[in-house]
Amino acid sequence: MTKIDNIQTLWQQLHNKTEFIKLVAKDLDRSPNTVHNHWFARFWQVPKGCEDRVIVLLQNTIKQQQKQYK
């Protein structure tokens, strides 16, 4: 599984994608529109240098979601 495949799989598990986009934008000092339109839209163009951080943020966000719904 590639990092992009992993990101796509984790993305599907998010309940609030808008809040996650805001989190990534703030964490990586990017515009929310850039993150949404270029990173998580149809072509999944997450910059290679940001893939690992995005995966960590996805995993942490999903863990928090799971705690909320238990």
Domain ranges of the chain: 3-68
| pLDDT at site 70 | 66
Residue-wise pLDDT tens digits, 3-62: 999 999 999 999 999 999 999 999 999 999 999 999 998 788 999 999 999 999 999 999
| pLDDT at site 43 | 84
| Report field, pTM of the whole predicted structure over 0.95 | no
Greater confidence (67 vs 24) lies with 24
CB-CB contact of 62 with 10 (8 Å): yes
